[in-house]
Homo-oligomer: A and B are copies of this chain.
Amino acid sequence: MPHRTHLTGEDVARKALEMIDELGLDGLSMRKLAAALGVAPMTIYSYFTDRDALLDGVAQLLYGEIEAPSGSQGGPRDTLIRIMMSVRGMLLRHPNAITLIASRPPRTLDALAFVEAGCRALRREGISARDTARAYRALAAYSLGTAMTEAGRYFTEHPATQLAAGPLSERTITRHLPNVAEIGPYLDQLDDAAEFEYGLDLTLDRFMTQPEASLDGP
């Protein structure tokens, strides 16, 4: 039988991503991945030293999906909004891979392209390197947390949202958690994308309209 055409590490990672999207992180196994690629299980180890390295490869692939606009069209602010919306979009397209992203920062040139684009936009606004680092951290945390809670159905499956479903009776909730009960109807009725963009806007305001903002005293 003829040998398979040579696979690249990226081919392997891409198939792994497909399986994660379809079967969940636990649904991906080295053996099933090998079978899907038509190779012996051990062959995968010639591309990645172990399962952990494979998962890192998948994460880098995902970062590569994020838009990295050159910034030639539209102002720096629009560029940043587009990047962060694209981060959220990528995570929502791959909800099963979110925990992968959470523990693996971008490492490759491709994976870092969106970070470079974002930092460049901030610097072009006259923001200092230090404040650019601060803004990058704040934006990354907010975008990651937003996508995580959305993909994890954190609010749509909230006990306050589905009073009937959970382990607590509606009576118990309204009695012991009156304020939680009160917000329930709103929790899953908000427009996710609009809320996210509103938060981004205000986060950008903090660095763009008052870049001299300091943590140190008055």
CB <8 Å contact, B138 and A141: no
Segment at the B interface, from A10-18, A35-43, A115-123: A115-123
Contact partner of A195 (CB less than 8 A), chosen from B137, B153, B157, B158, is B137
Interface of A is mostly: helix
Best-surrounded residue of A103, A146, A183 (most CB of chain B within 10 A): A183
CB <8 Å contact, B186 and A154: no
CA distance A134 to B148 in the complex (A): 16
CB <8 Å contact, B102 and A183: no
CB <8 Å contact, B123 and A149: no
Residues 60-92 of chain A, each 1 if its beta carbon lies under 8 Å from chain B, else 0: 000000000000000000000000000000000
CA distance A148 to B195 in the complex (A): 21
Are A187 and B144 also in contact (CB < 8 A) when A119-B182, A152-B102, A166-B107 are? no
CB <8 Å contact, A134 and B180: no
CB <8 Å contact, B202 and A112: no
CB <8 Å contact, B154 and A140: yes
**19 A/B residue pairs, CB under 8 Å, sorted by A:** A99-B103, A102-B152, A105-B152, A105-B154, A112-B177, A116-B178, A119-B179, A123-B179, A132-B179, A132-B182, A137-B149, A138-B199, A140-B145, A140-B149, A141-B148, A141-B199, A142-B145, A144-B148, A194-B215
